[in-house]
Structures are given as structure tokens and as C-alpha cells.
């Protein structure tokens, strides 16, 4: 009988994941100033363990930022993506904003933390640029004359543009309901100089939609 069959064991959660999950719970409760002792207690580990795993609270916040990018990459990999580079990037924008809006209080706290100087600095910029490079793919339907340059510079410029939008959202100057629209407008502005005629009208419309304050 089926009930006699042993149930498959659940994957064991790593210590790092337990600590990051605990940090997210504390941030979700509005406790951005949690201490490492409070974190250790929430995670059910020794006081030294978070330091051994991440070095510092700043290291934990950087790891949480990387976790967000990993979630975006996972969703992008599972998405039914359009054929053209411009359309792919706009889908990626929607994925990225959906991840950030999935837990706004947590993600605002993470963004605020990683925007401060860290020693040593993290590699959020590099990981973010790699994500946008995945979104661009091979650059399908970008003008051939500038495609190579586009694939070189657009990942970094899209990362900077999206980070800029997130900074205003983190500061409370941009409401949750305006994040997607403004992120699309920012991406459109970056893409416009490398787009073909068939994409320009759509990008201009996104820029116009993002011209109002939210």
C-alpha cells in the first residue's frame, strides 16, 4: 500500500540558507537594525555561526541581494521569452520588479544596506550586469551595425538604470505601484539608442508612460 512506502526525505536546509531566511524574517518584521545575536537566535545557530558564514552583517545583506538576483535568473530561465532582444529585456524588467515587490519591506532594507559602502565591496554590479546580459540573449533584431557594441555596453547600462529606479523606490519617493512603469521607462531610455525602427514606437510609448510622477 502507498502509505507503507517511506516518504522521500526533504532536502536539508543549509546553515547559510537558515541564516538568510532568519534575516529575511527579521527584516520583514521591520527590524532592519537587528543584531547578529538576534539573528543567531532567530536562525537557531550559535552566535559565531553568522560571522563564520558571512563575515559581518554587511556580508549577510550582500548575500540577500545576490539571492534576489538568483531568483530573477531562475524566473528568467523558466519564462517563455520572446524572440527579440528588446522584448526579452522588457520581460526581464517585469520579472525583476515582481521579485522586488514580492517582499517590499525586506527588499527596501536590503537595497538600503547594499547602497552603503562595504569593506570589502560586493559584486552586486557585476551580478546584475550578468543578469541583463542573459536577458539580452544574442541581441536578436538589434541593428547589425551596433549589435556588438550593444551587447557590450547595454548590460551595464541597464543595471545602472534599474538600480537608479530602485534607489528612488527604496527612499520612498517612488510608490510600489509605480515601480514597474518607471523601470520599463528607464530600460526603454537605455535601449532606444540601439533599437531598430520597429521597436522605437514601443519604447517611446514606455518613456512617455513613465514621464509622470508616482
Q: Which pLDDT tens digit goes with each residue over 112-133? A: 998 887 777 778 889 999 999 9
In a domain, 10, yes or no: yes
Global confidence as pTM: 0.88
Shared-domain flag, residues 1 and 49: yes
DSSP code at position 145: G
State whether 30 and 129 are in the same domain.
no
* Model confidence pLDDT, tens digit, residues 65-95: 999 999 999 999 999 999 999 999 999 999 9
Which contacts of 157-163 are long-range, i.e. CB under 8 A and separated by 24 or more positions? Answer: 157/190, 158/89, 158/129, 158/132, 158/187, 158/190, 158/191, 159/125, 159/128, 159/129, 159/131, 159/132, 161/186, 161/187, 161/189, 161/190, 162/93, 162/96, 162/128, 162/132, 162/186, 162/187, 163/125, 163/128
Q: What is the dihedral of CA 165, 207, 154, 118, to 10 degrees?
A: -10
Residues 134 and 183 in one domain: yes
Q: Is residue 16 located within the same domain as residue 99?
A: no
Is 3 in the same domain as 24?
A: yes
Look up the domain containing 33 and give its range: 1-55
Q: Say yes or no to pLDDT of 98 above 70.
A: yes
* Whether 87 and 133 share a structural domain: yes
Cell of 33: 537594525
214 falls within a domain: no
163 and 82 both lie in a single domain: yes
pLDDT digits over 124-179, tens only?
889 999 999 999 999 999 999 999 999 999 999 999 999 999 999 999 999 999 99
Cα gap 63→95, rounded to integer Å: 20
Domain count, the chain: 2
Do the domain assignments include residue 21? Answer: yes
CATH number at residue 49: 1.10.10
Domain boundary residue, one of 18, 34, 55: 55
132: cell is: 541583463
Query: Is residue 86 located within the same domain as residue 14?
Result: no
Running DSSP on this structure, what letter comes out for residue 200? H
Amino acid at each position: 500500500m502507498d502509505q507503507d512506502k517511506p516518504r522521500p526525505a526533504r532536502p536539508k536546509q543549509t546553515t547559510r540558507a537558515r541564516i538568510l531566511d532568519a534575516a529575511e524574517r527579521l527584516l520583514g518584521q521591520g527590524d532592519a537594525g537587528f543584531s547578529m545575536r538576534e539573528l543567531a537566535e532567530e536562525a537557531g545557530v550559535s552566535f559565531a555561526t553568522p560571522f563564520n558564514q558571512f563575515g559581518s552583517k554587511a556580508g549577510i545583506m550582500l548575500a540577500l541581494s545576490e539571492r534576489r538576483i538568483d531568483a530573477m535568473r531562475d524566473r528568467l530561465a523558466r519564462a517563455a521569452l520572446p524572440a527579440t532582444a528588446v522584448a526579452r529585456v522588457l520581460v526581464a524588467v517585469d520579472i525583476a520588479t515582481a521579485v522586488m515587490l514580492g517582499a517590499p519591506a525586506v527588499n527596501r532594507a536590503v537595497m538600503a544596506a547594499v547602497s552603503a559602502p562595504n569593506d570589502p565591496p560586493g559584486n552586486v554590479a557585476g551580478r546584475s550586469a550578468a543578469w541583463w546580459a542573459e536577458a539580452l540573449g544574442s541581441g536578436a533584431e538589434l541593428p547589425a551595425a551596433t549589435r556588438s557594441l550593444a551587447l557590450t555596453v547595454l548590460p551595464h547600462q541597464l543595471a545602472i538604470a534599474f538600480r537608479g529606479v530602485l534607489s528612488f523606490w527604496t527612499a520612498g519617493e517612488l510608490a510600489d505601484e509605480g515601480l514597474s512603469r518607471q523601470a520599463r521607462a528607464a530600460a526603454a531610455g537605455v535601449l532606444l539608442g540601439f533599437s531598430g525602427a520597429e521597436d522605437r514606437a514601443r519604447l517611446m510609448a514606455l518613456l512617455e508612460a513613465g514621464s509622470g510622477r508616482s
